[in-house]
Homo-oligomer: A and B are copies of this chain.
Amino acid sequence: MKVIESREGEIYDIELSEDLLEKNRKLAEENKALLNRHQVLGIDVMGSIGSGKTSLILQLSRLLKSKYRIACIAGDLTTTIDAERIKKEGVRVIQTNTGKECHLDANLVKKAFGELSLKDIDLLFIENVGNLICPAEFPLGAHRRIVVVSTTEGPYMILKHPYIFQDADVAVINKIDMAEPMRVNPDKLSKDALHIKPELKIVKTDCLKGKGIDEVIRVLGL
C-alpha cells in the first residue's frame, strides 16, 4: 500500500514507511503476548468481499462452540451485517467499523480487546475487511492467518495477489460447488497458491453447506 505525498509542489508515490509498518508489527506482538497470557488462540480471517469469511466463521463456531469459548472481532467499513449474522450463532461479537479503511490494524484490534473479557475466551476469530490487498501488510497479533477465496472470483485471484498468500498459513478455496458452472479449476487454484508458498495448507470448502469445515478444523489443529 502506498500513499501520495506532496514534496516541493510535486506529487510522489511513497511506500508506507517502514517505521509505520514496524510500529504495527510491534503492537501486533503485544496483542499476541496478551492472547498468550490468557491462553486465547487468535485466528485472522482474510479474503475478498463475498468470499465466505463470515460463513466460514459461522460453521467453525457451530462445530467448535461445545469445545471452546469463542468470540469474534468483525471488521467492516460501515455496517453491522456480519456481526449480526455471527451473533445468531451465540458467539460474542465486537464490531469494529473502519470507515474508509481497507484493513484492520493491530491498534484497532487492541482497542477491541478492551471490550472483550479475554479470560473468558479460548478462541478468537478476527474477521478482516473484505479485500485481498490491504490486510497483507498489517499483522494483527493472531496466531494463524486464513485467506478465503471462492471459485466464483474467477481463475486469477491467487496469481494476482501473491502478498496475502505469502502471509497466510491456511488458504480456503470456497464455493467449490460453483467451480464447474464457473469453469474454474480448483486444482489449478491450489497449484497457484502452493507455487507462492509451498508450506501453505489448502482446504476446499462449501461453507454454506458446511462441506470441508472438519478439514479446516484439522489443519488449524483445533
Residues of A within 8 A of B (CB): 1-6, 11, 13, 15-16, 19-20, 23-24, 27, 48-50, 76-79, 81, 98-102, 105, 107-108, 129-134, 136-137, 150, 152-154, 156-157, 159-163, 175, 178, 181-182
Shortest C-beta distance, A117 to chain B (Å), equals 24
Shortest C-beta distance, A85 to chain B (Å), equals 9
Shortest C-beta distance, A141 to chain B (Å), equals 13
What number of copies of this chain does the assembly contain? 2
Most buried by B among A49, A129, A161: A49
Does A99 lie within 8 Å of B50, measured CB to CB?
A: no
CA distance A105 to B81 in the complex (A): 30
Closest to A160 in B: B79
- CB-CB under 8 A from A78, the residues of chain B are 160, 162
